[in-house]
Amino acid sequence: MSPDVNPSGWGQLLLWLLIGLPAISGVALCVLGRAANRSAAAVSLVTAGLTALTAVAASIARPAVDVPFLTGFTFGLAVDALSALIVPTVAVVTLAVLAFAAAEGTQAPARFHGLMLIFAASVAVTATATTLPTLLFAWEIMGALSYALIGFQWRDEFRVSAGLTAFITTRVGDLGLYAAAGAALAGGTGLTFADLADAPPGWRDVVAAGILLAAFGKAAQLPFSFWLSRAMEGPSPVSALLHSAAMVAMGGYLLLRFAPFLQATGWAATTAAWVGALTALLLGIVAVAQRDLKQLLAASTAAQLGFIVLAAGVGAVAGGTAHLVAHAATKSLLFLAAGAWLTALGTKQLHGLRGVARRWPVVGVAFSAGALSLTGVAPLSLWATKDEVLAGALAASPALYVVGLAATALSAAYAGKALVIVWSRPLPTTRDAYDTEQQGTQHVGLWERIPLLVLATGAVLLGVLALPPLGDQVRLALGAVGEPRPTALELVGSAVLAVVVVGLVAWKRVPEPSWAANWLGLERAVYASIVAPVLWLSEHLARFDDAILDRGIHSVARRAVRGARRLAHFDDAGLDAAVTASARGGVRAGSTAAEVDTYGVDVLVEAVGRTARQLGRAARHPQSGQLHQYYAQITVLLTVALVLLLVVR
C-alpha cells in the first residue's frame, strides 16, 4: 500500500461505492434482461454519473481497503496518485460513452448497459488493485466482458468469434499473472504489489515476465495486436470504451504501475521499451494502410499504447500516465464519431466517409479535434504527452528515440489521412459505399453530439497534464520529479514534424502497403503456428483415446475373460473332479468310520461329505462366461483372503 493513501471509513465507503454501484446495477440489468429494457438507459446513466462523482471524490480522499480473500492473500484496493488520475478518466469516459449509446439506442439495452456497467466496475478494481489476486480477478472479468460485448450481436456468428479471438488471445497473457503469483509464492514473498519487489532474483524475473506477458496481451502489443482488429466487429460504443480508455489502456497502466519493478530487473524494462516502440512503429504503418476507419483507429490504439508501454519501459511514468489519460479522451471520441457516422451512413469505409464532416459539422469538428490531437499538432493534448515519453526514450537510448519519432510521424500520417478524407468533397462514387455494412439512418442526434464535445474538450486540453504548471504537480504526485523533460527544441520540432506530415498527406496519396493492410498477417501466422497444431493434436489425441486407450482396456478385459474361461476349464476338469473325488472319499471314509465309531462322528462326516458334494456342484455354477460374475467371484475371494488374514494375523 502506498503511503499516500488514506484508510479512513468514509473513504473506504467511496471505494466500495466506486465498484459496487456499477457492479450491482450492471448485474441487476443483466439478470432482469428484457424486463428492464425500458429503464436500462436511465439506470445506466444515473449509475455512471454517480460513479463518476464517486471516482472524483475517491481520487481526492485516496482511500484504501484490504479485506481477507484467499488463503493468506487479501483483496486490496487503494487509490494512490496514479490511480487518482486513471479512475476519474475511465469513469468520465464511461459516462460519455454510455450517454452516447443511450442517445443512439442499442439492441437489448438492458443487456448492453448491464454488461458495460459490470465492465466499468471491473476496470475500477483493476485500476485500484494492490494485490495480485485482486488484479487478476478484475483483469479476467474485463476479458470476459469484452467477449460478451464484442459478440454483443450474437446472431452474427463472425462477431461472436471475434469476441472469442479477443478473449483467448488476451487470456494467453493472463496466464502470465497466474505464473507470477506462483513465482512470488515460490520466492517466499506475499502477493501484494509492494511485496513482489522482495522476491529473490530468479523468481523476480518470472514475476516480471508474467506481468509483461499479461500487459502485452491486454494492450494489444506485438505479437498480440491482431485481436484488436477482430474486436472492431463489436458495437462502436464498445470500442470507444474498451479499446481506447479502459481495457486496452489497462495493459499500459499495469506496466506504468510496475515501472520501478521492471527497472529493478533490468531486462524487463528494456523489453517493455522495445516492444512498445516497435508496436508504435509497426502498428503505425498498419494504421496508415487501413481503408476502414475503425480498423485505422484500432491499429492506432495499439500504436499509441506502444508509447505508453515504451514510457513504462524507460521509466517515464509521468509522461506515460499523461499520454494514457489524453489518449483515452481522444480515442473514445474518435470511435464514437466513427460510430455516429456508421449509424448514419451505414459504412465505416474511408472512401464512403469522404466529406462526412461537412455534412455533420459538429461531429466533424469534434472528430477533427481528436484527429489533430493524434497527429501531434501543438498545442493539442497528445503533442505534449508523447514528447514527454520521447524525452524519456532519448535519455534511455537514442535508437529508441529514433523509432519513437518515426512512430510519431506515422501517427501524423494516419490521423492526417482520416482528417483529410472526412473534410474532402464527396466523389460521385462515395454514395456507393453507403448502407453496405448496415442500414444508415441519415441522422446524428443532438444528444449524441454532446458527449463528443465533452470528449473533444479533453482531447484538446489534457496536454496540460504534461506541461507546467499542472505537469509539475502531476510529476510531484507520481514521485516522478526527476524524469527527463522534452526540451523546447523537441517540442517545437515534433509539432513541426506533425504539421509537415499532415501537409504531405493532404498533398499526396498515402501508400497503403498490403503487408500492413492485413495487420502484418499476425492472425494467420498465429493460426498456422499455434491454433492449427493444437486442433490437430486435439483431434489425434481424441482418436488415440478412443482407439488405443479405450480399446486397450477392452482388450485387457477380453484377455481377462479368456483367462477366466481357461481357469474355469481347469476348475471343471481338475478342481471340481478333485472336490467330487474327495467328497466321495470322505463319504467312504465316513461310512468306514461309522462302522467303527459312534453315531456322532458319522453324522458329522456325512455332513462334510454332503457339503463337499454340494460345493462341487456349486463350483460348476459360476462358469457362465459372464465377466461380471467372475468379478463377483474375485471379490468374494479377496474378501475371504481379507478375513483369513484378519483371523490368522
- The residues binding another protein (CB under 8 A) are 33, 68-72, 133, 136-141, 144, 147, 151, 154-157, 160-161, 164, 167-168, 171-172, 175, 178-179, 181-186, 188, 191, 206, 534-535, 537-539, 541-542, 545, 549-550, 553, 557, 627-628, 631, 634-635, 638, 642, 645-646, 649
Supply the minimum distance, in Å, between the C-beta of residue 357 and another protein: 36
Q: For residue 117, what is the enclosing H or E element?
A: helix 109-128
Cβ proximity to another protein: between 100 and 167 the closer is: 167
Cβ proximity to another protein: between 132 and 579 the closer is: 132
Supply the minimum distance, in Å, between the C-beta of residue 138 and another protein: 7
Supply the minimum distance, in Å, between the C-beta of residue 178 and another protein: 5
Contact 338, 348 (CB under 8 A): yes
Would you tell me the crossing angle of helices 201-218 and 267-289 to the nearest 10 degrees? 10
> Cα 552 to the chain's mean position, in Å?
41
Cβ proximity to another protein: between 618 and 643 the closer is: 643
Cβ proximity to another protein: between 141 and 278 the closer is: 141
Cβ proximity to another protein: between 168 and 500 the closer is: 168
How many Cα atoms within 13 Å fall on the side-chain side of residue 606?
10
Supply the minimum distance, in Å, between the C-beta of residue 184 and another protein: 8
Cβ proximity to another protein: between 190 and 379 the closer is: 190
Report the sign of the C-alpha dihedral through residues 360, 366, 370, 373, in that order: positive
- List helix spans (H) across 464-550: 470-478, 488-507, 514-517, 522-526, 532-544
Cβ proximity to another protein: between 186 and 587 the closer is: 186
Residue 545 is given by DSSP the state: I
Report the SS3 class of residue 354: coil
CA–CA separation, 606 vs 602, rounded Å?
6
Supply the minimum distance, in Å, between the C-beta of residue 186 and another protein: 5
CA–CA separation, 226 vs 270, rounded Å?
23
- List helix spans (H) across 33-108: 37-61, 81-104
Residue 433 CB neighbour total at 10 angstroms: 18
Cβ proximity to another protein: between 488 and 645 the closer is: 645
Cell of 286: 498498419
The phi, psi pair for 67, rounded to 5°, reads -125, 150
Supply the minimum distance, in Å, between the C-beta of residue 126 and another protein: 11
Supply the minimum distance, in Å, between the C-beta of residue 134 and another protein: 10
Residue 63 is given by DSSP the state: B
Supply the minimum distance, in Å, between the C-beta of residue 161 and another protein: 7
Supply the minimum distance, in Å, between the C-beta of residue 209 and another protein: 11
Cβ proximity to another protein: between 141 and 318 the closer is: 141
Cβ proximity to another protein: between 149 and 393 the closer is: 149
Residue 607 CB neighbour total at 10 angstroms: 12
> Cα 82 to the chain's mean position, in Å?
22
Q: For residue 76, what is the enclosing H or E element?
A: strand 73-78
Supply the minimum distance, in Å, between the C-beta of residue 211 and another protein: 15
Of 218, 135, 138, 143, which is closest to residue 181 (Cα–Cα)?
135
